[in-house]
Amino acid sequence: MEPFTTHTGVGVPLRRSNVDTDQIIPAVYLKRVTRTGFEDGLFAAWRNDPDFVLNKPEYAAGSVLVAGPDFGTGSSREHAVWALQNHGFRVVVSSRFADIFRGNSGKAGLLAAQVDEKVVQRLWDHLEAHPGSVVTVDLESRTVRAGEGADAIEDSFDIDDYTRWRLLEGLDDIGITLGHEDVVTAFEAARPSWKPVTA
């Protein structure tokens, strides 16, 4: 995985709460057996609406999505993270993420930055008033910044220490765990014999 330190890119205001993973990518788009190409299904139902934010040219190159609370609820599909990444998003900013979505993001290298609800509101207002303007997300200092001068927005975001470290270092979880293989083997030796097996 590529290390993630800081990212500056066009912010996209998605004024919606409860954006579930069926909205991010409907089930009919999940049939690919690769990790790429899912951008065609991203927000598929909403893409038909010419007023949908991603259909506006100013936001087309967006890489920082700013969404309402309870982003990524529902299905565990990691395809939702891949679809966002395949489209070009590096960061999602929200005031609350669903657990599985947050976990999937961390594994796949998409930064899920949790901020206060007021920060989301201010970012929305700013990005709508200045379409195409950028947001900077600094993982080292855990800050999100947008705008300049008196209206500048600067606030901190939450992310757990471990995920932050892994993203900063670009580390692969499986590699880390395989480093502890002896402990796993010891644990297996002590498992009760009545635990079920499939083979």
Partner 1 sequence: MGKTLAEKVWDEHVVRSAPGEPDLLYIDLHLLHEVTSPQAFDGLRLAGRRVRRPDLTLATEDHNVPTVDWDKPIADPVSRLQVETLRKNAAEFGVRLHPLGDVEQGIVHVVGPQLGLTQPGMTIVCGDSHTSTHGAFGAIAFGIGTSEVEHVLATQTLMQARPRTMAVTIDGSLPPGVTAKDLVLTLIAHTGTGGGQGYIVEYRGQAIEELSMEGRMTVCNMSIEWGAKAGMIAPDQKTFDYIEGKPEAPRGADWDAAVAHWKTLVTDDDAVFDAEIVLDAAEMTPFVTWGTNPGQGVPLGAAVPAPDSFEDTDDQVAARNALTYMGLEAGTPMRDIRVDTVFVGSCTNGRIEDLRLAAEILQGHRVADGTRLLVVPGSVRVRLQAEAEGLHQVFTDAGAEWRGAGCSMCLGMNPDQLAPGERSASTSNRNFEGRQGKGGRTHLVSVPVAAATAVRGTLSSPADLQPAHTEA
| Residues of this chain that bind partner 1 (CB under 8 A) | 15-18, 20, 22-23, 26-28, 30-35, 44-45, 68-70, 73-79, 81, 96, 98-100, 103-104, 107-108, 160-162, 173-174, 176-178, 180-181, 183-184, 187-188, 191-199
Between 10 and 102, whose beta carbon lies closer to partner 1? 102
Give the whole-angstrom CA distance, residue 164 versus residue 78. Answer: 19
Cite the DSSP H helix spans in 97-140: 99-108, 117-129
Q: Which helix (H) or strand (E) holds 93?
A: strand 91-94
Between 154 and 165, whose beta carbon lies closer to partner 1? 165
Between 65 and 81, whose beta carbon lies closer to partner 1? 81
Minimum CB distance to partner 1, residue 48 (Å): 9
Minimum CB distance to partner 1, residue 114 (Å): 11
- In 3D, which of 38, 14, 159, 141 has the Cα closest to residue 97? 159
With b meaning 16 or more CB within 10 Å and e meaning fewer, what string describes 9-32? bbbbbbeebebebebbbeeebbee
Minimum CB distance to partner 1, residue 75 (Å): 5
Between 45 and 152, whose beta carbon lies closer to partner 1? 45
**To which residue do tokens 């005031």 refer?**
95
- In 3D, which of 108, 106, 59 has the Cα closest to residue 79? 108
Minimum CB distance to partner 1, residue 197 (Å): 4
Between 79 and 122, whose beta carbon lies closer to partner 1? 79
Minimum CB distance to partner 1, residue 136 (Å): 26
Structure tokens, 146: 């947008």
